[in-house]
Amino acid sequence: MEQDSAPGVGESELAGSFASYTAGLAFALLLTGASFIVSQTHLLWAPGVPAGLIVLAIAQMGVHLVFFLHIGTGPDNTNNVLALAFGVLIVVLVVSGSLWIMAHLNANMLSPSAIMQMQR
Amino acid sequence: MSAHAGIAGPAPVRIVVAYGFWIFLLSDIILFSALFATYAVLSGQTAGGPSGHELFELRHVGVETLCLLFSSYTCGLGVLAIERRRLHSFYLSFAITFVLGAAFLGLELSEFVGLIARGAGPSRSAFLSAFFSLVGLHGAHVTAGLVWLSFMVAQTAVRGPRDFVRRRLLCFSLFWHALDIIWVALLTLVYLLGAR
């Protein structure tokens, strides 16, 4: 068998532990439940519900990253965290850029009736 | 990494493999972000057809969420078991993961079939085209994950819990957890916000 771990590096570091998976599951269940409650009841001020749901979703993604994917602050994780930061940057650019451009295109588009008028 | 690379030598294979696979997962998440952007742009364009408020059943979606969340948990426990060479609890964990993943897929397919039967198929409106491509892509990933899971269980049975098998199982678990992260975004942006 090949030598798979450097001395001093615990092999359980990437696989986590039973306690961390269970804590992650508990947090994820809690946050999912909160999302359903916020969206279905009037607990939150109505215009604030989308913002509340997005905050809960980001929190749950964080829980998944830390407790399930083990993206943490350890020395072996620096590269993973940097890659994640770059991925998040691209995702934000793609989503916000698309929404921004399409909103402007939509605002500047002629209505179908106006196009019909011009064709006459 | 650089902090102790000079002391401990090059990083272990396991860490390098997980890093490479993490980069792949991030590129997959970027693929999803393009479809999320499309959905966000088109979500109001119902062309006189039904909107998400009329179509989505949150009880159904809640059960799907629980299936995926618990399958992620049992997948993690399976990886822990194989690291400790406990083969029986590994097989049990991955069997539960497979059943829960298949249950999720079945629920999603029944939702799709129900929508198409009501005349709300992907060709009805731009909103529904975007909905079916986004949720369908996630479903396709789950299907691929189930195929991969079956192969990995077979490989573990044939080759035993050797280093390369355990590395592949680690990559599978990363893939499965990442699908759960994408589902959190889907649940919030498509279902919970769409059903309001």
DSSP, residue by residue, A4-47: -S-TT--GGGTT--HHHHHHHHHHHHHHHHHHHHHHHSSSS-GG
Q: CB pairs below 8 Å between A and B: how many?
A: 146
Collect all residues of chain A within an 8 Å Cβ-Cβ radius of residue B167: 4
Please tell me which of the candidates B13, B22, B58 has its beta carbon nearest to residue A40: B58
| Choice between B100 and B45, residue whose per-residue pLDDT is larger | B100
Pinpoint the alpha helices (H) of chain B.
2-8, 13-42, 52-55, 58-83, 87-117, 126-159, 163-186, 193-194
Facing residue for A83 by CB, picked from B13, B26, B34: B26
| Cβ atoms of A6 and B15 closer than 8 Å | no
Residue A5 touches chain B, beta carbons under 8 Å:
yes
Cα nearest neighbour of B182 on chain A:
A61
Average pLDDT of the segment spanning B88-92: 95
Instruction: Show residues of chain A in contact with B165, CB under 8 Å.
Output: none
Chain A residues within 8 A of B22 when measuring between CB atoms: 69, 71, 80, 83-84
Chain segment A79-120, per-residue pLDDT in tens: 999 999 999 999 999 999 999 999 998 888 877 777 888 877
Share above pLDDT 70 across residues of chain B, in percent, rounded to a whole number: 96
Task: Give residue B44's pLDDT.
Answer: 85
Calpha distance B104→B68 (Å, rounded): 6
The residues, any chain, with a CB within 8 Å of residue B15's CB and separated by 6 or more, are A9, A14, A76
- CA-to-CA distance for B130 and B141, rounded, in angstroms? 17
For B120-163, the pLDDT digits (tens) are: 989 999 999 999 999 999 999 999 999 999 999 999 999 999 99
**Residues of chain B neighbouring A19 (CB-CB closer than 8 A):** none
Q: Say if the Cβ atoms of B65 and A11 lie within 8 Å.
A: no
| pLDDT for position A13 | 53
Q: Rounded to an integer, what distance in angstroms lies between the CA atom of residue A10 and that of residue B73?
A: 22
Q: Is B103 inside a domain boundary? A: yes
**The one-letter amino acid at A58:** I
pLDDT of B4: 52
Question: For residues A111 and B111, which has the higher predicted lDDT (pLDDT)?
Answer: B111
- Shortest distance between the Cα of A5 and any Cα of chain B, in A, equals 5
CB contact under 8 A, B177 and A68: yes
Q: What value does the mean pLDDT take over residues B65-88? A: 94
Whole-angstrom CA distances from B56 to A116, B62, B88, B187 are 36, 11, 40, 11
Contacts for B46 with CB less than 8 Å, ≥ 6 apart: B125, B126, B127, B128
Q: How many domains does chain B have?
A: 1
The CATH number covering residue B123 comes to: 1.20.120.80
Supply the range of the domain harboring residue B154: 25-194
In which band, very low, low, confident or very high, does the pLDDT at B1 lie, cut at 50, 70 and 90? very low
Q: What pLDDT is attached to residue A6?
A: 43
Integer Cα distance of B98 and B16 in angstroms: 27
Whether B171 shows a pLDDT value over 70: the answer reads: yes
Mean pLDDT for the stretch of residues B26-52: 92
pLDDT mean over B65-92: 95
pLDDT at site A3: 45
- In chain B, residues with a C-beta closer than 8 Å to the C-beta of A90 are 30, 33
Average pLDDT for chain B:
92
With contacts defined as CB-CB under 8 Å, which chain A residues touch B181?
A: 61, 64-65, 69
Encoded tokens for B8? 């401990």
Task: Classify residue B76: in a domain, yes or no.
Answer: yes
Contact B11 A6 (CB under 8 A): yes
* Euclidean distance between CA atoms B183 and B64, whole angstroms: 10
Question: Which residues are within 8 A (CB) of A17 and not within 5 positions of it... i.e. 6 or more apart?
Answer: B80
Q: Which pLDDT value is given to residue B11?
A: 82
Structure confidence at residue B18 as a pLDDT band (50, 70, 90): very high
Q: Does A18 touch chain B (CB under 8 A)?
A: yes
**Whole-angstrom distance, CA of residue A26 vs CA of residue A47:** 29
- Give CA–CA dist B103/B48, Å, rounded: 33
Inspect the interface and report whether the beta carbons of A40 and B184 lie closer than 8 Å: no
**pLDDT(A5) > 70:** no
B102 inside domain: yes
Q: Do A6 and B34 touch (CB under 8 A)?
A: no
In a domain, B13, yes or no: no
